[in-house]
Structure formats: structure tokens, C-alpha cells
Amino acid sequence: MSTLPFFTVDVFTDTRFGGNPLAVVVSADALDDRTMQAVAAEFNLSETTFVVAPSDPAHTARVRIFNRTAEMPFAGHPMVGTAFVLASQRPELVKAVFEVPAGIVQVDIHRNGEGAPVGASVVAPQPLSLGDVVAPEVVARALQLDPAAVVTKHHLPIAASNGNPFIIAELTAEALSGSDPSLAAFREARDAYPQFGDRFALHVYSRDGQVLRARMFAPLSGTWEDPATGSANAPLACLLLSLDPEAQASRFDIHQGVEMGRASLLQVEARRTPEGIVATLRGSCVAVMQGEITP
């Protein structure tokens, strides 16, 4: 019986066993949706990708992204990690174009002086879109914080997306470190805001100039906390740029995963374009494991 190769990589880090781990299953066209979801649940990582033939032969691949419970329209670290894996197999690959449910993702491969891939830059598939605001007290209850810890001077907690929606809220630095998600409170928030669907994914941050610290919690989809979330930090950078009407672009170094012992660094640039505010994510990768799956 034929087998499918898989690879795991740590993304948004240059240190093995840091960053956000990702499993990549290549040549996965023979797998149906149910099997892909089961394999992703078996890996039990934030996301697993499955590389299949593109709809447009001019593109590099169609990439299916699954978390532990559902397929996702877009996610940042799966794009960077999948590009890294494919570039490791294809020395000629310097740019990749991925088809994902949220749209087309443009990727630039980063290689070292010896030609080995070391990371990638990813353009999020959609410009920033903003949705409904959320009461600060709801965020505070979800993370078991004093409501005063939710900073509302610059913006209220708000739904934001570049292809995958998150509730983004600013916290004090002390509250960010002390956040402790309550599953019951996340369920209450989901029920109170049904327009956000079943996930109610909460991305919180504190800011020191152009350096941010962030944490992302999505316990209702099986990710209690995520070490590095490209699809949340992209709209975060875009949201911050939108609050500065005189700026055309802004770059941020975003640190995530520190409290988890999996320190990650995401470099994110937001810029204004005729289509809206768009984001580019940049990060490093490290290869970890490889193996085979029997379909």
C-alpha cells in the first residue's frame, strides 16, 4: 500500500522546539475531508496542512488547513511552514502561490547562502476587514481579568480579519502575562455573539512602540493557547495602522508564545493600498521530524 510523506516544522522561530509546530502532509490528493480532519486531530497541533494539486496549474499548490476540529480559510504559520517544506524539496522554488479557501496567498521563500530554505514571507489573502465590537467586560471574563485591564483608549475589542477572523483586544502588560482563559466564559461569549461563529478566538496584546507582545486563545476549537498566530497578528498590525491616518505603512515585531515556553517572533508589515490595508508576515522555520502516513 502506498504511503504519504509528512513533515513537521517549527514556525516563527530559528530554534528547534520553539515557535509554533506544524505538520505538513504532501501529495495528499487521495485523502478525503474526513480523513484529513482525523489526521489533523491525531497530530493534535494548532494546524496541519495537506498539499494537493492546484485548481490553476500556474499556481504552486492548493493547501487545505485543518485545526483539531475544522478546516480553516487561512492561517499564517501553515503558509510559512508549508512553503518551507516544499522549498526544501524543490531547490528552484523562490516564490510560491497557494490556493486557500480565503483566496490566493503569495509567498517569497527565504534561503541562506548555501541555498537552504530558512523561512518565508506571506501576503495575507484579503485586506483588513473590521466587524462588531465586543464589550470589554466579556474579554475580561474570558481571561479572568479585572475589566480595567482591558485598554480601550485606542480601540474597543473588535473583530478583525485578513482572511480569518479574531477578536482583538489591548491589555496592560501585566494582564497579558496573567491571562487565564475560562472555558465557561468563552462559551458564554460565543452564545452572546453568535455572529462570530463557534470559535470566538481571542487575540490580545500589549504594545511598546513598534514591539508587541501577544497571546491567542481559541479553546472552543481545541487550541487553548497558540504559540504564534500569523492570521491574528496580520489584522492586529493592520488595525494599528488604521488608527494612524497619517501613516502609509508600519512594521511591527510581535512576540508570542513566551508564556508557553515556545517563544516566537513574527515580523509584520501593514500598508495602505487602493484595495485597503494589507499585511505581509515574515518568519523563520526549523525542520523537526518526518515520517509516513498510510491512507
CB atoms within 10 A of CB 243: 10
Positions annotated as catalytic residues are: 47
Distance CA 224, CA 216 (A): 8
Which are the contacts of 176, defined by CB distance < 8 A and separation ≥ 6? 204, 205, 206, 213, 214, 215
Q: Are 73 and 66 in contact (CB under 8 A)?
A: no
Ordered DSSP codes for the chain: ---EEEEEEEES-SSTT-SEEEEEE-S-TT--HHHHHHHHHHHTSS-EEEEE--SSTTSSEEEEEE-SSSEES--HHHHHHHHHHHHHH-TT-SEEEEEETTEEEEEEEEE-TTS-EEEEEEE-SS--EEEEE--HHHHHHHTT--GGGEE-SS--SEEEESSS-EEEEEE-HHHHHH----HHHHHHHHHH-GGGTTT--EEEEEEETTEEEEEEEEGGGTEEEES--HHHHHHHHHHHHHT-TT-SEEEEEEEE-GGGT--EEEEEEEEEETTEEEEEEEEEEEEEEEEEE--
